[in-house]
Amino acid sequence: MPAVRGDGMRGLAVFISDIRNCKSKEAEVKRINKELANIRSKFKGDKTLDGYQKKKYVCKLLFIFLLGHDIDFGHMEAVNLLSSNKYTEKQIGYLFISVLVNTNSDLIKLIVQSIKNDLGSRNPVHVNLALQCIANIGSKEMADAFGTDIPKLLVSGETMDVVKQSAALCLLRLFRTTQEIIPGGEWTSRIIHLLNDQHMGVVTAACSLIEALVKKNPDEYKGCVSLAVSRLSRIVTASYTDLQDYTYYFVPAPWLSVKLLRLLQHYPPPEDPGVRGRLNECLDTILNKAQEPPKSKKVQHSNAKNAVLFEAISIIIHSDSEPNLLVRACNQLGQFLSHRETNLRYLALETMCLLATSEFSHEAVKKHQETVINALKTERDVSVRQRAVDLLYAMCDRSNAEEIVQEMLNYLETADYSIREEMVLKVAILAEKYAQDYTWYVDVILNLIRIAGDYVSEEVWYRVIQIVVNREDVQGYAAKTVFEALQAPACHENMVKVGGYILGEFGNLIAGDSRSAPVVQFQLLHSKYHLCSAATRALLLTTYIKFINLFPEIKSQIQDVLKSNSNLRSSDAELQQRASEYLHLSVTTTTDVLATVLEEMPPFTEKESSILAVLKKKSGRMSAQEAQREARVQAREGNAAPAAEKAQNAQLKTKSPSNAAFPIPQLNNSTSADLLGLSTPPATQNNTQSNTGVLVDVLGDLYGGGGTNTHNGTSAPATISMSGATDNIKKFVCKNNGVLYENDIIQIGIKSEFRQNLGRVGVFYGNKTSMPLQQLVNCECVEDFNGLPDLSVSFTYGNVPQRLALHLPLSCNKFFEPTDMNGESFFARWKNLKAQKIFKATGPMENASIKTKLLGFGMQLLEGIDPNPENYVCAAIIHTRTQQIGCLLRLEPNRQAEMYRLTIRASKESTAQILADLLAEQF
């Protein structure tokens, strides 16, 4: 029987059938090995193989390779097929090369030469095969070899349209590999003008290429805007009968329309009024066509039509300059919210989220609030419900915040577990962002904890505590509300944390009511104690010691708890240490010292909320365009939610409770910001690991974050790593307590108190292996002085002597006594000697931060004295053994120039200069 000729390749069909009929893997391998041996013998022994037979055997090799077997011969025969003039043989040769030939092969030169020959062919089929092979391989070697030929082929007037299409797409593939392949200069204009080509296929391919080029160099290709608008206008205004070859279910050239609209989104609205007007006409026409009855009931028609519509709406949102178009787009999307097609509802909700952030369409979006709320309650698809939550979040403002937050809280009780955490973050953000009455904010957060406590992250309850501490008007209400919430039989642990903190600070505000008497508060909190984790128990122990200061009448009951074996002999080192230290503190210290150590927490430094950053990280859907819209919302609202903090490199440490009111529990690999401001700023990443375990801040840093890290101590010998050593000496000018020095093996803390010319400084030494040691230093100010006393610390580590040369934080201002006076007295004394410094601000010029530093400096801040309300004036007296030195201060911030002018007048000239030098370093 003669061999079957033609493209059927019966031998290949029989081989494939044999493989499919194999009953086992072994039978398949045996059949393949037999065929490989046959092909190898044919290639080696039969020199008279014609093109058909070579093609058949190469096809078999290709099929065997696709089955997962290695092919180590036949490459030369495939290369020989490239020189054939028959399409099928050349096609199989190119296919084999694209799949099996490595770019490092010795045959690559022969292949490149064959491709060059086909690129120069007059047969467009051969040229297309060569271009497809180049694109399929897409290597840097191919880009280098044909980088000059393909652009010429693309812009040549003699090139056929079908070849131009392939050339444009091949060039796009090579551009993604090597961006230098596209020539500049005059080539730019010639490539752009392909948008004017008569052939729609060429325009479609060129549009993809130009969009990629625009992403790399938008300025060079900005001339494409007018041509893209012109081409889009011709398509939009054309009837489906005008572009029959490129009409898809009665929609003219939908793919090209979408590509052109996406291309235009890389540029701002056209500056040329004519081009801009023409573009707006196109968009208006697309919106009008969306309102027309469908020309077909088939889903392909609606898909193509809606694809163009949604891309048009995207460019309307991108431009954000045409109120009429934005409102029309919103109304069109509003119709889709009730569409029976789930995908359309999803896309409508997603797109309206962006429209909601435009000042022109925000009100139009709010009109659909009820529809969106209904979708949240009735949608079957969880992804659509997720988009409904996103839209409610985006459309929220001061006028509808309470209603939207309440609806989200109601839905949260039955919400899918996959979206609860994100919903909690959004509710927390909205409540803080639009709270006109912070009692409402407290209610919302406590409801969040009650409804979805497992999904309330630490950032949320840190934030509510920060806000309550900073706002006196809400502290009593917060204490009352959290007390009532704790009375519930089933109380989430996060509620216990918030309740413990707030009652420890402000429980005295509700203690007058017999229903919330001190003993009732204590018993209520302690009833939750044994149900909580170690971190929460540690916080509650701090609450108990605060209660001793607030309510001395229950001191004995609290001491009994601290003495219990479950605390003093706890397996948790943190609980054991707290119970021991707090018990010792309550037994041995006087009432005055106890009141000083356990005084109410000062207001936290106002800082931006990090909840928004956590939300974006959780959702992972915040595009660059959405981020831009978020910024626009903030500008419109004035005091909208602040931008997310850059907290990726934040390193949180655990704190000892020695004088910090409530330490933050250590977070596992947390990247969230320290919302309560309790942590000491990390020195370097090298220091992070050394701050775990028992080595904790002996005192904590109450102002967590401010100040400059300076190194005035000598490091240890080279045998011990002192990476990450932190000397905080400058911070102590405006504070009395904190960490003075810290490195990998030791931490030195300071706690000091002063009265007139006398002072006492407690120095605490801590490491990983023992409890902190304490050393007391008594001091007296004999006369005004400059500089700081030396502190030499010697110890042994690893049998190697170590020595640190530090300074004791005793500066002249520590012996201040704040003095109050009226304006007349102040200016009467202002005539004394003065010292003045003008210096550049090194940090944010925030009112709260400036006041905190001036009060920490030890002077009395005088309100309403200076005619300029932006200025700060202070007064104090320095007590020495022999005299009293009166001091007046005036600080004038210039926020535009980011400069300060500091003037200090004192009854002793040298004192004024010393104080000016000390304080200037703090700003």
CB atoms within 10 A of CB 568: 13
The number of residues in the chain equals 923
887 is in an annotated binding site: no
Residues 903 and 872: beta-carbon distance below 8 Å: no
248 is in an annotated binding site: no
382 is in an annotated binding site: no
Cα dihedral 630, 636, 642, 645 sign: positive
CB atoms within 10 A of CB 610: 22
Report the 3 state secondary structure along 587-652: HHCCHHHHHHHCCCCCCCCCCCCCHHHHHHHHHCCCCHHHHHHHHHHHHHHCCCCCCCCCCCCCCC
Helix axes 108-119, 124-137, angle to 10 degrees: 140
Count helices and strands in the chain by DSSP H and E runs:
38, 15
Cα dihedral 508, 513, 517, 522 sign: negative
Backbone angles phi, psi at 791, to 5 degrees: -130, 110
* DSSP annotation string for 295-307: S--SHHHHHHHHH
809 burial level (CB within 10 Å; 0-12, 13-18, 19+)? buried
Distance set, CA 405 to CA 350, 408, 449, 638, 814 (Å): 19, 5, 14, 20, 49
Q: What's the CA gap between 280 and 276, in Å, rounded?
A: 6
Backbone angles phi, psi at 880, to 5 degrees: -120, 180
56 is in an annotated binding site: yes
Q: What's the CA gap between 322 and 316, in Å, rounded?
A: 7
11 is in an annotated binding site: yes
Which two tokens mark 556?
């004995």
460 closest CA partner among 673, 189, 668: 673
57 is in an annotated binding site: yes
Q: What's the CA gap between 46 and 71, in Å, rounded?
A: 20
- Those residues with Cβ within 8 angstroms of residue 454's Cβ, 6 or more apart along the chain or in another chain: 492
Q: What's the CA gap between 849 and 889, in Å, rounded?
A: 17
- Three-state DSSP class for 726? strand
291 burial level (CB within 10 Å; 0-12, 13-18, 19+)? exposed
Determine the longest span between alpha carbons in the chain, in angstroms.
128
Q: What's the CA gap between 502 and 564, in Å, rounded?
A: 25
Question: Beta strand 800-807 with 790-797: parallel, antiparallel or unpaired?
Answer: antiparallel
Task: Determine the Cα angle at 427 with ends 425 and 432, to 5°.
Answer: 95
Region class of 669: left (phi > 0), else alpha (psi between -120 and 50), else beta: left
CB atoms within 10 A of CB 712: 12
Q: What's the CA gap between 462 and 658, in Å, rounded?
A: 20
Q: What's the CA gap between 540 and 656, in Å, rounded?
A: 14
133 is in an annotated binding site: no
Backbone angles phi, psi at 317, to 5 degrees: -65, -40
CB atoms within 10 A of CB 514: 7
- Those residues with Cβ within 8 angstroms of residue 225's Cβ, 6 or more apart along the chain or in another chain: 264, 267, 270, 275
52 is in an annotated binding site: yes
575 closest CA partner among 632, 520, 535: 535
10 is in an annotated binding site: yes
- Three-state DSSP class for 834? strand
Known binding-site positions? 10-11, 42, 52, 56-60
